[in-house]
Structure 1
Amino acid sequence: MRLVVGLGNPGPNYARTRHNIGWLVVDEVARRWAAAWRKEKDAEVAEVRVGPAPGARVLLVKPLTFMNAAGKAVGPLVSFYKLEPDAMLVVQDDLDSPFGLLKFRLGGRHGGQNGVRDIIRVLGTDAFPRLKIGISRPPAGWDPADWVLSRWREEEADTLAELVRLGADAVEAWAQHGLAEAQGRFNGTDLRPKLPVPSEETPQPEPGVS
């Protein structure tokens, strides 16, 4: 069994906010494999078999405790299934990465992400992999707490849809092939618009030279 935790907040008011991109990714994985969500203690869970039969057994998890208490939902599941930390992947938003960037990371500090912070506190270790999806730092004048709870703008919709699709691909790769291969495939993902390459101008003759 592998656990994939999509971080977010419950309720319709938070459904399309930046903080909930982890939920969007696990929802997409569940949709692909026609899995039904069910309530289990402090989380919604859905079991899927990822990949060719028999497939990798994965439990998708959406904590219902609100972000700051995500560990309350995750800890009992890790304990019940007797999982080592590397058998759990946390899908999270990342303020310190530009919107359009996606990367895997193993362990390390929480970086101010309160859901990750609480999971580390409850488990007593930070040695679990994360799939970090960039939402960018807030614009000037925005408080970070307000920014993560803000809704996606219309002009971000296409990039968001592609990030969610690739995030689900990345989760499936991790479940089937492990962290190293998933990092190799997805850590270069960057959906930011590319700057145009300057065209080479025809050199102009110097004055007096024909």
Structure 2
Amino acid sequence: MINSSANMKLIVGLGNPGQEYDHTRHNLGFVFVDKLRDELSFPEFKLEKKFAAEISEGAAHEKKLLLVKPQTFMNLSGEAIQKIMAFYKLSPADLLIIHDDIDIPVGKYKIATDSSSAGHNGVQNIIDQLGTQTFQRLRIGIGETKEDDVPVCRLGVHDFVLGRITPDEQTRITAIEKAILEAIEQLI
């Protein structure tokens, strides 16, 4: 593993470990960090037990990058992230979190810095573990919309986020895939 924190960026995709969570809305962070790894031709993810995370590392855009998929459950993601940040002596400015967001319609995304968790328990755990919300987030929409373009979900939130991505949702997510990857690279 890379040992120097100089000019390093930590890019974390949020999700739940285990095949039963593959293709769920809540695992879009994992999906996009996998896509970024492919785009950057980084090595396969390796489980780093001391961090409770899978990590792929390399260099791009004149920076060392650690791509991370915490192997804790979503709501404990901050534990793995805090361990990695402490080990590499990284600051919140070095962190980018990629996650699903029910308040954003499917097919859209937003970039946020220094914002609350808005009810996302994985993000809240990161804020709690780091003691700050001053890190970058790329929020990928999973919300359904009404006529006035206001996100809404018909199921309970828990069941909705752990539900499988529908073919229509996948089409809309795929349509913004390139834009999301470009946005991530701009944030590096």
Q: What TM-score does the superposition give when structure 2 sets the normalisation length?
A: 0.86
Q: What is the aligned counterpart of 2:48 among 40, 43, 46?
A: 40
Give the structure 1 partner of residue 147 of structure 2.
Answer: none
Tell me which residue corresponds to 1:149.
162
2:181 and 2:57 map into 1 onto residues whose CA distance is 15
Cα distance in 1 between the residues matched to 2:107 and 2:172: 7
1:49 aligns with 2:59: yes
Higher percent of residues as strand: 2
Q: Contact (CA 8 Å) 1:30, 1:48: kept in 2 or not?
A: no
| 2:90 match | 83
Equivalent of 2:128 in 113, 117, 121: 121
CA distance in 2, matches of 1:25, 1:33: 12
Instruction: Provide the residue aligned with 2:181 in structure 1.
Output: 168
Q: 1:164 to 1:24 in 2, by over 3 A?
A: farther
Does the 8 A contact of 1:86 with 1:129 survive in 2? Answer: yes
The amino acid across from 1:161 in the alignment is T
Amino acid paired to 1:5: V
| Alignment-derived partner of residue 65 in structure 1 | 72
Give CA deviations for 1:45-64 in whole Å, capped at 9, x if unaligned. Answer: 1113224xxx3221001000
**Residues 107, 169 of structure 2: 8 Å contact kept:** no
Q: Which amino acid aligns with 2:158?
A: A
Q: What is the DSSP-based 3-state SS (H/G/I as helix, E as strand, rest coil) of the residue aligned with 1:89? A: strand
Residues 154-207 of structure 1 deviation map (CA, whole Å, 9 limit, x = unaligned): 1222222233332222111111xxxxxxxxxxxxxxxxxxxxxxxxxxxxxxxx
Within the alignment, does 1:158 sit opposite 2:171 as a pair? yes
2:115 aligned with 1:111, yes or no? no
CA distance in 2, matches of 1:119, 1:145: 19
Q: Which 5+ residue runs of structure 2 have no aligned equivalent? A: 1-7, 144-150
Q: Per-residue deviation at 1:138?
A: 5.0
Distance in 2 separating the partners of 1:139 and 1:2? 34
From the superposition, tell whether residues 48 and 169 of structure 1 become closer, same or farther in structure 2 (CA, over 3 Å): farther
Q: Which 4+ runs in 1 deviate beyond 4 A?
A: none
Alpha-carbon distance between aligned partners in 2 of 1:148 and 1:93, rounded to the nearest angstrom: 8
Alpha-carbon distance, 1:33 to partner: 2.0
Q: Cα RMSD between the aligned structures?
A: 1.3
Q: Give the share of equivalent positions with the same residue, in percent.
A: 39
Greater Cα radius of gyration, structure 1 or 2: 1
